[in-house]
């Protein structure tokens, strides 16, 4: 409150006017907190938006991105997302000093769940980096994208479909539902700014899900639409983008691939994208693009880097209503029939998780094989004539 306002209030005499002044003071303070935020509160920890559904063509894919900017803040209750915007969030619990109950829970689940993947990190698959441990190819040639992939033993003659759900780790209720309710073949992609990121990844792997980490990339309307402080930029130097990429890669371990978050403008720069994919290839990490941007540029960058890469065929929940998600899932089936395999990318909406869980129940009876994205990417890599990659190392460790 300003000094002039305070003087005016103090000029009133008598109990009635004093009470009225106190009430006005309280109301004004509450209004300021409501609109400007609590000065003692924490700032938002991440920003999340949902890109558009790509149109799969032989050459170009639309380059515009639909923005749904959201401030992710701490809250006490789970709020169901509206259909017109991205979900509110609940941060993952912060472990007590000297203990990590989430990691302990994941380790226990890994001991009792036959679908569990081996706990990360694996010996020999990390090296020190400027911001923490970085993934690396082991002395025996074992690659992280093999060792941390989910083994798959399905029928290769069936049309294969894989699904990746992104934005994990920002909304506790939806992340837990995805980990617990979805089949282990469904992969989970985690935001690098998620609180307690490694514990979330440990829980996902203990439930059998293979994991990806999201790489914020420059959208067309950057910096108005800012994916975060470590966003890779189309016009930045390779050294600067490498510095930011190393930070992102060192935030956790146990992921088999990285995937873009936004990045329509970044994906128009073949040299910048090729540099990123070359860096990942040198460290034995695969790259999955969500399909937004120029498909031909993404393909050229991947081939130029001689990397293990893939492109999703559809974003499943540009419209997160259940009927719209169902329609996109049916499109995945049609694409798998046509091409032998397909990959769908979704976001951390509760409606997306629920519809995918229902859809997978009868998938095999309809003649389709649900497979982890590592398996579909390996199949597509072989069809392109690229270097053959299998999950043999992961199978040996499973």
Alpha-carbon distance values, 252 to 156, 186, 249, 312 (Å): 32, 20, 7, 23
CA distance 69 to 52: 13
CA distance 205 to 109: 9
Which burial class, exposed, middle or buried, applies to 57 when counting CB atoms under 10 A from its CB (0-12, 13-18, 19+)? exposed
Token output for 356: 């995918």
Look at residue 239 in the predicted model and tell me its pLDDT: 97
Judge if 98 and 23 occupy the same domain: no
Judge if 263 and 121 occupy the same domain: yes
Cβ(207)–Cβ(176) under 8 Å? no
Q: Enumerate long-range contacts of 355-358, CB under 8 Å, 24 or more apart.
A: 355/322, 355/325, 355/326, 355/329, 356/163, 356/165, 356/182, 356/186, 356/316, 356/325, 356/329, 357/181, 357/182, 357/183
CA distance 398 to 393: 9
pTM reported for the whole predicted model: 0.74
Total structural domains within the chain:
2
Judge if 277 and 385 occupy the same domain: yes
Look at residue 107 in the predicted model and tell me its pLDDT: 57
Closest by CA position to 207, among listed 102, 114, 94: 114
Look at residue 193 in the predicted model and tell me its pLDDT: 96
**What single DSSP character describes residue 50?**
-
Residue 338 lies in a domain: yes
Q: What is the pLDDT along the chain (398 residues), one digit of tens a residue?
A: 444 443 434 433 444 444 444 444 444 444 443 444 444 333 333 434 434 433 333 333 333 344 343 333 333 333 333 333 343 333 333 333 344 555 555 555 556 789 999 999 999 999 999 999 999 999 999 999 999 999 999 998 999 999 999 999 999 999 999 999 999 999 999 999 999 999 999 999 999 999 999 999 999 999 999 999 999 999 999 999 999 999 999 999 999 999 999 999 999 999 999 999 999 999 999 999 998 878 889 999 999 999 999 999 999 999 999 999 999 999 999 999 999 999 999 999 999 999 999 999 999 999 999 999 999 999 999 998 866 554 443 343 34
Residue 41 lies in a domain: no
Token output for 344: 């769908």
Residue 319 lies in a domain: yes
In sequence order, what are the beta bridge partners of 191? Answer: none
Judge if 365 and 320 occupy the same domain: yes
Token output for 93: 């619990």
Residue 162 lies in a domain: yes
Residue 73 lies in a domain: yes
Judge if 12 and 151 occupy the same domain: no
Look at residue 158 in the predicted model and tell me its pLDDT: 95
Residue 159 lies in a domain: yes
Q: The domain containing residue 217 runs over which residues?
A: 46-397
Strand, helix or coil for residue 259 = strand
Judge if 98 and 10 occupy the same domain: no
Judge if 29 and 162 occupy the same domain: no
CA distance 308 to 66: 28
Strand, helix or coil for residue 361 = helix
Cβ(368)–Cβ(162) under 8 Å? no
Judge if 12 and 126 occupy the same domain: no
Judge if 69 and 90 occupy the same domain: yes
Judge if 23 and 52 occupy the same domain: no
Judge if 12 and 106 occupy the same domain: no
> For the domain that residue 70 is a member of, what is the CATH number?
3.20.20.370
Look at residue 292 in the predicted model and tell me its pLDDT: 80
In sequence order, what are the beta bridge partners of 369? Answer: 160
Residue 101 lies in a domain: yes
Judge if 12 and 147 occupy the same domain: no
Residue 362 lies in a domain: yes
In sequence order, what are the beta bridge partners of 232? Answer: 217
Look at residue 252 in the predicted model and tell me its pLDDT: 97
Strands 309-311, 126-127: pairing kind: unpaired
From start to end of 263-306, where are the E strands?
286-289
């Amino acid at each position: 409150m300003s000094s002039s306002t305070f003087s005016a209030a103090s000029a009133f005499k008598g109990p009635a006017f004093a009470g009225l002044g106190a009430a006005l003071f309280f109301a004004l303070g509450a209004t300021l907190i409501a609109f400007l935020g609590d000065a003692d509160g924490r700032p938002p920890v991440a920003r999340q938006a949902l890109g558009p559904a790509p149109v799969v063509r032989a050459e170009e894919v639309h380059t515009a991105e639909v923005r749904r900017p959201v401030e992710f803040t701490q809250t006490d209750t789970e709020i169901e997302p509206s259909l017109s915007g991205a979900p509110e969030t609940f941060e993952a619990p912060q472990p007590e000093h000297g203990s990590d109950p989430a990691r302990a829970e994941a380790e226990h689940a890994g001991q009792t769940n036959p679908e569990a993947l081996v706990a990360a990190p694996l010996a020999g698959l990390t090296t020190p980096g400027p911001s923490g441990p970085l993934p690396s190819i082991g002395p025996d040639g074992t690659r992280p994208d093999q060792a941390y992939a989910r083994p798959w033993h399905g029928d290769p003659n069936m049309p294969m479909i894989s699904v990746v759900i992104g934005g994990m780790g920002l909304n506790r209720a939806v992340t837990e539902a995805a980990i617990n309710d979805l089949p282990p073949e469904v992969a989970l992609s985690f935001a690098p700014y998620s609180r307690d990121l490694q514990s979330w990844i440990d829980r996902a792997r203990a439930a059998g899900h293979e994991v990806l980490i999201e790489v914020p990339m420059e959208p067309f309307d950057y910096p108005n639409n800012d994916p975060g402080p470590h966003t890779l930029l189309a016009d930045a130097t390779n050294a600067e983008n490498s510095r930011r990429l190393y930070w992102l890669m060192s935030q956790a371990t146990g992921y088999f691939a990285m995937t873009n978050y936004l990045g329509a403008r970044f994906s128009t720069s073949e040299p910048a994208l090729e540099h990123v994919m070359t860096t990942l290839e040198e460290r034995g990490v695969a790259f999955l693009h969500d399909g937004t941007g120029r498909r031909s540029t993404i393909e050229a960058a991947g081939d130029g880097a001689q990397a293990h890469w893939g492109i999703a065929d559809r974003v499943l929940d540009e419209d997160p209503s259940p009927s719209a998600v169902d329609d996109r899932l049916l499109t995945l089936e049609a694409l798998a029939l046509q091409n032998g395999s397909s990959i769908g990318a979704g976001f951390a909406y509760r409606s997306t998780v629920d519809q995918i869980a229902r859809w997978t129940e009868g998938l095999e009876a309809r003649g389709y094989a649900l497979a982890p994205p590592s398996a579909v990417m390996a199949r597509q890599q072989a069809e392109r004539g690229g270097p053959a990659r299998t999950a043999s190392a992961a199978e040996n460790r499973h």
